[in-house]
Amino acid sequence: MHNRASLGLAIAIMVLAGWGTLSALAWPWKAKLFPLVIGIPLFCLAAAEALWIVFGRRGTRQAAADFQLSTDQAPEVARRRTAIAAAWTVGFFVLIVLLGFQIAVPVLVFAYLKLQGKEGWIFTTVFTAAVWAFFYGLFDLLLHLPFPPGVLLEWLG
């Protein structure tokens, strides 16, 4: 799996660097100096990584000095839960755009606790109220951060 991800990243960087280098050719030298200095070696490095994956010897995975994903779950369970997590994350963004932060925050917390956490009604309601009170008290009352009302609410007037 990590080889496929690595190949995908390498190809994406090749496309990005290639596009960047070609676009830069049309610019004045002041603007194209750095894109060319970075874009060309970046394209070559990405090509080297892609070729290494395709033609190189398959060895053990060498971990980066970075966070590692957990391997406790079976691959299919991990894939399903990853898709669920991604759906909640993107869903929250859609909720924010449609309803605005002030409504999207309690809706997300309530829905997540009820559907994903399988918590009881009372706990879910109290927890959601507490998070909303914290959100409203800190970000709206104290810090006066400007949160727009959301596209749907604006459309409804």
Partner 1 sequence: MLDALLQGLFLVLQWTTTLALMLPFIYNMQPVEAFAFLLGMHSVVATTGDVTSILFGVPGEATTAAIILDGHAMAKKGEAGRALGAALASSLVGALIGAAALALAIPIVRPLVLTFGSPELFMLAIVGLAFIASLSAQGARGMLRGFLAGGLGLFLAMVGQDPQAGVARFTLDTLYLWQGLDLVPVLVGLFAIPEIIDLVVRGTSIAGNVPAGRISHGALEGVKDVFRHWQLTIRCALIGTFVGITPGLGGAVAQWMAYGHATQSARTPEERQRFGTGDVRGVLGPGAACNSKEGGALIPTVAFGVPGSTSMAILLGGFFLLGLVPGPDMLTKHLPLTFSLVWTIVLANIITVGACFLLLNRLTALTAVPGHLLVPVILVLVFIGSYTSNSSYADIVVTLVFGAVGYFMVLAGWPRAPLVLGLVLGKIAENYLYISVARYEAAWLMRPVVLVLLAIAIGVILYPAFQAWRARARKEAHA
Q: Which 40-59 positions form the footprint of partner 1 (CB under 8 A)? A: 41-42, 45-46, 48-49, 52
* Contact track, partner 1, 61-80, x by CB under 8 A: xxxxxxxxxx-xx---xx--
Residue selected from 24, 99, 102, 103 as contacting partner 1 according to rule CB under 8 A: 24
Residues 108-147 that bind partner 1 (CB under 8 A): 108-109, 112-113, 116-117, 119, 127, 131, 135, 138-139, 143, 145-146
Size of the site for partner 1 (CB under 8 A): 74
The candidate with the shortest Cα–Cα distance to 49, out of 105, 10, 77, 101, is 10
Site membership for partner 1, residue 35 (CB under 8 A): yes
Burial class (CB in 10 A: 0-12, 13-18, 19+), 147: middle
**Considering the complex, what minimum distance in angstroms separates the CB of residue 121 from partner 1?**
16
Is 43 in contact with 14 (CB distance < 8 Å)?
Answer: yes
Task: Pick between residue 45 and residue 153 the one whose CB is nearest to partner 1.
Answer: 45
Is 33 in contact with 52 (CB distance < 8 Å)?
Answer: no
Residue selected from 33, 54, 126, 129 as contacting partner 1 according to rule CB under 8 A: 33
Task: Pick between residue 60 and residue 157 the one whose CB is nearest to partner 1.
Answer: 60
| Residue given tokens 């809706």 in the structure block | 107
| 39-48, long-range: CB < 8 A, 24+ apart | 42/13, 42/17, 43/13, 43/14, 43/17, 43/18, 45/13, 46/10, 46/11, 46/13, 46/14, 46/17, 47/10, 47/14
**Considering the complex, what minimum distance in angstroms separates the CB of residue 111 from partner 1?**
8
**Considering the complex, what minimum distance in angstroms separates the CB of residue 49 from partner 1?**
6
